Amino acid sequence: MAFYIEEAAEVVWERFLEADNAVEVLMRVSKGIMGHLQVIEFNLNGSMQRENELKSKVQYLMELTRELNFIKGSASTTGKKVGSLEKELREKDIQLMNVKASSEVREVSLLEHVARRKSSLYTIYCVSTVLFFVALFKETVLFFPMDSHT
């Protein structure tokens, strides 16, 4: 009888160690993913900062446009300045469109990447929780077997 109890205890201990090892491995993987997620969030914050800079440039361009309109309405001797401002405005518009398109692509890519990482992290969390409860259930069943006569 003692032999069976010892053997059952060894099996339970082995299962506990296996579950504990699995949880440890999954926790390490989760920490790695969290590190990647933090990097992604850092990059996303950088993109948001660049977006704010672009908004500032847009305001600047709007001011240039107002100034350009004012100059157009004023004396004809300012024709050279108007041409220069129009040229600068076109160049800034082109730069703004290029930067904005690049920023939007990066932001969409980062958001998709963050969503995939969060999904992976949630899956790992669910699997580790299930493994823990399976191990706990198996341990409970071995120590308290159900008796059909009671």
Cβ contact 71:78 at 8 Å = yes
Q: Is residue 59 part of a domain?
A: yes
Q: What domain count does the chain have?
A: 1
Q: Is 36 a domain residue? A: yes
Integer Cα distance of 95 and 118 in angstroms: 34
| Structural domain range at position 46 | 2-143
Supply φ then ψ for residue 5, to 5 degrees.
-65, -45
Is 93 a member of any domain?
A: yes
pLDDT at residue 146 greater than cutoff 60: no
Express each pLDDT in 21-61 by its tens digit.
Answer: 989 998 999 899 899 989 989 998 999 999 999 999 999 98
Give a yes or no: residue 74 inside a domain: yes
In sequence order, which residues have a C-beta less than 8 Å from that of residue 8 and are 6 or more positions away? 142
The reply to whether 72 falls in a domain is yes
pTM, to two decimals: 0.37
The CATH number covering residue 125 comes to 1.10.287
- CA distances 110 to 46, 47, 58, 103, Å, are 11, 9, 23, 10
What 3-state class would DSSP assign to 59?
helix
Q: Does residue 58 sit within a domain?
A: yes
pLDDT 10s digits, 80-95? 777 788 888 899 889 8
Is position 150 within any domain?
A: no
What are the φ and ψ backbone dihedral angles of 14, each rounded to 5 degrees?
A: -60, -45
- Is residue 149 situated within a structural domain? no
Q: Pick the more confident residue, 137 or 43.
A: 43
The count of other CB atoms within 10 Å of the CB of residue 135 is 19
Average model confidence (pLDDT) across the chain? 82
